[in-house]
Structure 1
Amino acid sequence: MVITFSRGKLIVSPFEVQIRLQDGQAVLRAMVEDIQVRRDVLVLSADAGAVQWSLTLDNETQIDSLVAIVGEQVLS
């Protein structure tokens, strides 16, 4: 599933999340077991040991769409 937000696109599968920032500036990837979602502040973050990143989404609808695909285990 593709979720569009103000700074690019999230490409979400049950196993992986990819974030493609506008204009091909960067692609961030993480396996589902390495991500967390903080609904209260609309933040998607990944911690895979040596690599960490976080991204603020635009609205709760985007969070809901992401959680519907990857599962509620990512909520913190």
Structure 2
Amino acid sequence: MENNSLVTVLTVSLIHEIHIARTLLASRGIKSYIFDENIATSIGTAFVEGYKLEVNSADLERAKKILNEINSEDN
């Protein structure tokens, strides 16, 4: 049986960064989910340690590779 639990692929402090990453992964066919976005909206960002982007565990390595490629291009 395949394990498709959600795992964190990225944690950032700025909400726009998480949306950019999510859009990038979606363009490559990887579904992702943002966690802690609603908490920050309702109680403020001071109480959130970062926004988390999660993917299915089966997609983790591919998602990391995609995000690392983009980070390499930015540097």
Same fold (TM over 0.5): no
Larger-gyration structure (1/2): 2
Higher share in helix? 2
**TM-score (structure 2 length as normaliser):** 0.30
**TM-score (structure 1 length as normaliser):** 0.30
Higher relative contact order (CA 8 A, sep 6+): 2
